Amino acid sequence: MSQTADTHTAEIISYEPASGAELWRGKHGDVDSLVDRARRAWPAWAAEPLTKRIELVRRFANEVRKDQDNFAELIARETGKPLWEAKTEVQAVIAKVDISVQAYADRTGQRKLDSALQGVAALRHKPHGVMAVLGPYNFPAHLPNGHIVPALIAGNAIIFKPSEKTPAVGERLLSYFAKAGIPSALVQLLIGGPDEGKDLVAHRGVDGVLFTGSAQVGIAINRKLATEPNKIVALEMGGNNPIVVWDTPKVSDAATLVIQSAFTTAGQRCTAARRLIVKSTMYDEVVGAVKSLADRIIVGAPFDEPQPFMGPVIDNATADHLTESFLYLLSNGGKAISHLRRPQDERPFLSPAIIDVTALNDRPDVELFGPLLQVIKADDFDEAIAEANNTRFGLSASLVGGTPQQYNRFWANIRAGIVNWNRPTNGASSAAPFGGIGLSGNHRPAAYYAADYCAYPVTSTEVEQPRASTGVGFKDA
């Protein structure tokens, strides 16, 4: 198991998924004290010039850059992802600063419009106050950082609760803000499990909740805050994402895109392809190519040489759940193409699995967060689109192959926040908005549009001296 909490010592303990070795331990935090400290600190931060806030977050990026190798090693150890992938995550953390600075200027900058006798119409933005950031374990640095940096630039204070499965990375991430000279009260770490998360979300001193994680937890947050419209809530949840392969002569390239979509990060990406929908007449060729490539995937520990494509999933409980899900699909009409195998019973390594579920009458609409790809045949393009939309989620979708006209139909009819053509379902750019609909989010896209929920617009009409006159409906003086 990757993570346990000892209720007797009130500690969170983190274990390396690949080896089972203890990596980190720490005590549960006190929500009330953290919120109180943040509330006292944020007004002074909000009053600082924007240029100073930007300068300090740029220093943060430099601190990460100076320690990038050590940071990547820690991410790899705590998540189990290969070192090469951990390094790309650190680069995303660094790049987020410049992107956020540009996004703040584009999305929440000041505007003034002269209006003759009506004075000046002004648009400015104010920070919300104290923001709760709840992070996931799959990208424990990059994804919470994508909330924290825009929120800081806007003038907010942040309380960051990392996943209880990746607290060491969360702690290290916040250390770079402190080294950059950002007051510690402005970016605080809350160690804890679900109880601390619930208390933080519900705390009356928290002005906004920025969440990345499962639909189940996101729905619970939404329900909890239904009577508090004063709190800004941004939910980035998972997906049951389709990748549709249609007419194309480039079967090898199509198979590579499917593999990248389904099995990067051991399938532990919210944008990972969960369902491959393939034209019936291309089924044998495409699925055969996908299987052949999947069979070549190296699964291993983060620092193995040669480097693996896939590491373990986050813990044994997750591996057990995925194994049970594969067996459920198999016993209810699924046809195994590549079996889900677990080479070490005591460790959460899994082989990439592929299963045809075309014959299942009632396919479960759930996010199976791991290396498990379901395959569905479709006879015509309308059927493929309908099958792609056969989900309550709506994060990402890709069409591989097809004509420009078919892509236009695909784009117009697919219910998703990210729609790609001849590209994987994952690997979205931080320079674009990121988010989905349905169970994938609440129409508050992150990445470039994170600036939108980190500050609220204030409109003003302004004249240097009072000037007014009466109109219709007054008696003569």
Measured CA to CA in angstroms, residue 86 lies from 70, 73, 209, 252, 315 at distances of 10, 7, 26, 27, 18
∠ Cα 418 234 260 (to 5°)? 30
* Structure tokens that stand for 226 in this block: 């239904």
The residue behind tokens 């995550």 is 89
Q: Are 244 and 398 in contact (CB under 8 A)?
A: yes
- Kindly report the length of the chain: 477
DSSP state at residue 308? P
The CA distance from 11 to 64, in Å, is: 27
Which among 16, 63, 270, 454 is annotated as catalytic? 270
The CA distance from 405 to 29, in Å, is: 55
The residue behind tokens 């320690």 is 67
Residues in a beta bridge with 399:
244, 421
Q: How many other C-beta atoms lie within 10 A of the C-beta of residue 419?
A: 18
Identify whether 383 is a catalytic site residue: no
Contacts of 411 (CB under 8 A, 6+ apart): 419, 421
Identify whether 324 is a catalytic site residue: no
Q: Are 416 and 441 in contact (CB under 8 A)?
A: no
Which among 196, 236, 367, 387 is annotated as catalytic? 236
Cα 305 to chain centroid, rounded: 29
Contacts of 325 (CB under 8 A, 6+ apart): 364, 366, 368, 372
Q: Are 266 and 81 in contact (CB under 8 A)?
A: yes
Instruction: List alpha helices for 81-165, DSSP H.
Output: 83-108, 142-154
DSSP state at residue 422? S
**Longest Cα separation, the chain:** 94
Residues marked active site are found at 236, 270
